[in-house]
Amino acid sequence: MRWLSIVSSGSPRLALRDVEIEGATIQRGDLVLFNLPAANRDPAVIDDPDRLDITRDAPPPHVAFGHGVHHCLGAPLARMEMRIAFPALLRRFPTLHLAIPDDEVAWATQHAIHGLERLPVAW
């Protein structure tokens, strides 16, 4: 979820007070937008953020599902799918593999939610 966020921006927020971040001043009343993938790959938070490493020891939490009152309601379902459905799929189809070269996988780049146009597989 940290390496590939499916949504690029969180909900816009209104600054309630003046604040300085990294030398930039955000004034009370300013509309603030942020980029979730950039937050998830902040090198000040995680070492070598552009490297997919599922064996990292206790990485810091990601914000791919948002945070606080704007945390995604579907997050528990997504986590359950990753813990249950994916391993079950791979147990059922142990030879599951891409049916095309990985550089030919078609990404849906013109949508609000980042994902695949299609994912041809074989087993």
**Res. 120 pLDDT band, cuts 50 70 90:** very high
- Tens digit of pLDDT for each residue in 3-47? 788 887 777 889 999 999 989 999 999 999 888 888 888 898 888
Question: For 66-102, how does the pLDDT look when each residue is reduced to its tens digit (9 = 90+)?
Answer: 878 778 888 899 889 889 999 999 999 999 999 999 9
Q: What pLDDT is stored for residue 95 in this prediction?
A: 97
In the predicted structure, residue 108 carries a pLDDT above the cut 80? yes
Angle CA 118–122–123, to nearest 5: 145
Rounded Cα–Cα distance for residues 9 and 36 (Å): 5
The label of the residue with tokens 């995680």 reads 46
- Rounded to two decimals, the pTM is 0.64
Q: 58 pLDDT exceeds 80?
A: no
37 within 8 A of 8, measured Cβ to Cβ: yes
3-state secondary structure the chain: CCCCCCECECCCEECCCCEEECCEEECCCCEECCEHHHHHCCCCCCCCCCCCCCCCCCCCCCCCCCCHHHCCCCHHHHHHHHHHHHHHHHHHCCCCEECCCHHHCEEECCCCECEEEECCEEC
- The structural domains of the chain, with segments of one domain joined by +, span 1-92, 93-123
